[in-house]
Structure 1
Amino acid sequence: MPFDTAQAGWQASTWEFLVRLAANDGSATHCHVARLAAADAVTRNLSDAVHAICAIHGHPPGLAGDAITAAVQPDAADWLDEIAQAFAGERAWIARLAAAAGPLPSTPGQAETEAALIGERHTLEMLARSDRRGCATGAAAALVLDWIAIRAVLERAADRFAVEIPVCRLPIEAETATTVAMLGSTPATERAITFGAQQLLAQHRGLWSLLEARASAREA
């Protein structure tokens, strides 16, 4: 197989792998997300989720902004900037949701929860600032993919707490697919992209499992 053909194959496969990864291991597959996005979601569970998402993704500059500052992959700067600008709007919306949701629901183990959320945010910051070329962009691509499911929860909360739902300005899937194919220009970069994506999704799944445990503790 000619080198150019092989290169095109692995670049395309990088995006296809991320899509499969999000479909199999993303937020949409977690049972607690399904419960939160449902019309009969428990209000205090929605409130808990909004505050947790705010704790992880509600602080500027966010994952994309940190990746831009690190500048490990300069050719990703325009795409990352588009994500960063979109997330500025998402953060403002999440802040309004958190205010409308009121205080955190009383839950056993609050100190441990706060420590876990700080740890998750720190992990995302480390991914964004990684000097491994492709790691931050893989995490950013996974965030764009996974935000669809997370936004479904936020939109359910917005309906419940009477907060207007803004238009999502994140890059469309076709744009992200093209960008990821361009950025994964070598097998080493491809591996870093997939690693960053896997780690981002793992952090999100950890978040939903934590929120599920908190919901069970409140019911007990």
Structure 2
Amino acid sequence: MARITLEDLNGLDDESLDEDEEPMDGEEQNRLFSHWETVASTHQVTLPQEMAGPIVQMTQHSQVREPVPYVTLLQHEKCEERLYPAGKWACVTNGEPMYEQSISMGFMKLMRYICKENSTGRYLGMTVPVVNEIRLSEEGTELLRDVTTTYYLPGEFQPDPPLPTDPDIRIVERQPLRVLTRVFYGVTTEETILREIRLLWELLGSTDTVLRESYMVAAYENPSVPQRRNELWFIRRAE
């Protein structure tokens, strides 16, 4: 069964707490959990009771998010070209029947790692965006089932990343990544992602400088935001 995503737990708008506020009591925690059960049900996923503690922790830190560093190389009319420097990412791969299920399962695992299930036993801090790596079928008409969900380690932990207790999570040192990126808003489903890929190819025209089989989808905002921000990343071929 798919679970609620890390995106879902990252921001509550009026539900969010400031760092100076008193810890939530049992009633507040129950109310918060019920809120996210409702959010989860709108995505056809189930929120397990074991996530109650991590939900509270993530909520209390929801206003502090470290951006993944990058340099803008070129501002095209249709998209932006960026260089993401080498860095360490926590990655987990899932192959559920639906894209939404795969990213949900991945985010659940990463959230536990971020909140406590790591060699430091402490909250690591949130970074944005969370990036989902996808691959297309040979015909380019559908997503392959395996989706890798990735979380950039905050700067504090880049030199020495905490080890995950979950064996499914890998710490990967990614080489510099050059991408063409275009913003889109709304839900991220297989249908919307395939549409955005086709649209960006139409805008770019014929080129062999970017990969055709692999793409990335970057998520910035909580899914309760009706027109939340996402980005599609086309990956430049290594020179």
Q: TM-score range by the shorter chain?
A: under 0.3
Higher helix share: 1
TM norm structure 1: 0.27
- Which protein, 1 or 2, shows the higher relative CO under an 8 Å CA cutoff with sep ≥ 6? 1
TM norm structure 2: 0.26
Higher strand share: 2
